[in-house]
Structure 1
Amino acid sequence: MALLSLQNISKSYTEGSTTVQALKQASLEVAAGELVAIIGPSGSGKSTLLSIAGALLQPTEGTVTINGQDLGNLSPKKLASFRLHELGFILQTSNLIPYLNVLDQLLLVKKMDSRVTKADKAHAKQLLTELGLSDKFKKMPNELSGGERQRVAIARAFMNNSTVILADEPTASLDSKRAFEVVQLLAKEAKERQKAAIMVTHDERMLPLCDHVYRMEDGVLTKEA
């Protein structure tokens, strides 16, 4: 069964007297352990689809189901809680908080929901260690390389044991070696932890690391492999 299912998703915007259709009946499913890539030119609708999958935008039509829950049935308050517990985000710039060290970047996720326990600290250290950051717990973001910052962002996305991981151009600011390492780690963590992961990317060199590839053109999503 798919952990993430998008069925017949359309999204329209009104600009003056004109209606712009950003997405046109887009559908995809991601099973546990899979990393799916969405490629396509800028402005084709990739980030809009990712925002809908992440419960940041409401579709004009269609259904989004995560872990068996139809997001269209949730109130705004329940949707916010669902987003905190079920979704992990990895962004292009890593979005680390400049005044928190590496370990605290992860623990902040737990503080947003409840108090931090010893088990939470152990889990955070385990995640960071798995991603090769065991000697970086106390480092600040400005003391890390671009690849290290993205690895912290990956660890943070898994901190709440999220069902779905959404990555928006996670390698855009990295050289090819670091980009490959980051996507390889993302695929490995998704598979080992049985999460569903979607990555929007322009970098087609990363596609061999993905289980399936979709292409977005003018709001139309098609499966390539």
Structure 2
Amino acid sequence: MTGIQLKNVTKRYQENEFETIALNDVSLTIEAGEFVAIIGPSGSGKSTFLSIAGALLQATEGEVFINEQNITHLNEKELSAVRLKQIGFILQTSNLIPYLTALDQLLVVKRMNGSVTKEDKIFATELLNDLGLEKKRNKFPNECSGGERQRIAIARAFMNDPAIILADEPTASLDTNRAHEVVKLMANEVKARQKAAVMVTHDERMLDYCDRVYRIEDGILKEETNLI
């Protein structure tokens, strides 16, 4: 299976005699080309889910597979390689580097993994063009709008051709029109490039762009069937 799979994942936090269950026996499979949303109130387990799916945090129980590779018991060096090569992250804010142009924001991802080739530059340009940023390639973040900066961040997430795209509240800093624009473009890229994508969001206006919607409360994940 190309994509991501969580099998019976539980995450517990122990503090003195108190135990908190952040995720409770969560199972979920997302295949290539699927765009899935996870909604829920603050403190429900959304961030923990993303951290475990993104190889940033290890589960207390259960297993996580990315492209059929079990990453559950990998060491930190191996997990770092998984994050760099297999996962693209899109955060609440674009987190762009102020002194890099839009094109260089993407190419720096390749520099982290070695050298930059001519093909890398062509691919970065293609990504920016796909996201309507052809006129912004040589612009710095302060020369771009909030929506444009978030689109650059989306392009950056696809730059290493990862299997998985994880988006954490990608519309949090955008107005309604720009939010729709950004999520629609993200969904299009997920389909066109056959990525398995998860978007954690409070913004239920964006759910029409998703194939499936799950609600998480008290660490328990359930599919919503009456939203879209």
What TM-score range do you get, normalising by the shorter chain? over 0.9
Q: What residue is the counterpart of 1:164 in the other structure?
A: 164
CA deviation vs aligned residue, 1:157-214 (integer Å, no higher than 9, x gap): 0000000000000001101110011111111000000000000000101111100000
User: Structure 2 CA distance, aligned partners of 1:72 and 1:167?
Assistant: 21
Cα deviation for residue 75 of structure 1 reads 2.4
**1:19 is paired with a residue of what secondary structure?**
strand
Q: Aligned Cα RMSD in Å? A: 0.9
Supply the distance in 1 between the matched residues of 2:152 and 2:180 (Cα, whole angstroms).
Answer: 16
2:17 matched residue in structure 1: 17
Whether 1:42 and 2:58 are equivalent positions in the alignment is no
Query: How far apart, CA to CA, are the structure 2 residues paired with 1:99 and 1:68?
Result: 38
Shift of 1:134: 0.4
Separation (CA, whole Å) in 2 of partners of 1:163 and 1:4: 8
Partner of 2:130: 130
The Cα shift of 1:76 comes to 1.8
Distance 2:12 2:77 in 1: 24
How far apart are the structure 2 equivalents of 1:120 and 1:47?
32
Contact 2:9 2:26 in 1 (8 A): yes
Alignment length (residue pairs): 225
- Determine the structure 2 residue equivalent to 1:4: 4
Q: Offset of 1:2 from its aligned partner? A: 5.2
Equivalent AA in structure 2 for residue 36 of structure 1? V
Q: What is the Cα deviation at residue 79 of structure 1?
A: 1.4
Alpha-carbon distance in structure 2 between the residues aligned to 1:156 and 1:172: 18
User: In the aligned structure 2, how far is the partner of 1:161 from the partner of 1:93?
Assistant: 21
Q: Which amino acid aligns with 1:199?
A: M
CA contact (8 A) 2:2 2:163 kept: no
State the match for 2:84 in structure 1. Answer: 84
AA at the equivalent of 2:31: A
State the TM-score, normalizing by the size of structure 1: 0.98
The answer to whether structure 1 residue 121 and structure 2 residue 126 are counterparts is no
Q: Conserved in 1, the CA contact under 8 Å of 2:6 and 2:63?
A: yes
Q: For the residues of structure 1 that align with 2:94 and 2:51, how far apart are their CA atoms? A: 17
- Distance in 2 (CA, whole Å) between partners of 1:42 and 1:176 is 21
Displacement of 1:16 after TM fit? Answer: 2.5
1:92 partner amino acid: Q
Separation in structure 1 between the aligned mates of residue 76 and residue 184 of structure 2, nearest angstrom = 35
**TM-score, L = length of structure 2:** 0.97
SS at match of 2:33: coil
CA apart distance, 1:101? 1.0
Structure 2: tracts of 5 or more residues without a match: none
Q: 1:64 aligns to what?
A: 64
CA distance in 1, matches of 2:119, 2:3: 26
Query: 1:73 Cα deviation (Å)?
Result: 3.9
Question: How much does 1:74 deviate?
Answer: 2.2
Look up the SS of the partner of 1:206 in the other structure: helix
- Note closer, same or farther for the CA distance 1:85–1:2 as it changes in structure 2 (3 Å cut): closer
In the other structure, the counterpart of 2:200 is: 200
- For the residues of structure 2 that align with 1:94 and 1:51, how far apart are their CA atoms? 18
Deviation larger for 84-93 or 139-148:
139-148
Task: Report the residue type matching 1:164 in the other structure.
Answer: I
Hey, what's the Cα distance between the residues in 1 that align with 2:202 and 2:192? 25
Residues 2, 29 of structure 1: 8 Å contact kept: no
What's the offset of the Cα at 1:27?
A: 1.1
SS at match of 1:135: helix
Q: For 1:91-116, what per-residue CA distance to the aligned partner results, in whole angstroms no more than 9, with x for missing partners?
A: 00011111111111000000000100
Confirm or deny that 1:94 pairs with 2:88: no
Give per-residue Cα distances to partners, 1:3-42, cap 9 Å, x unaligned. 1101111111112221111110011111111100000000
The runs of 5 or more residues in structure 1 that have no matched partner are none
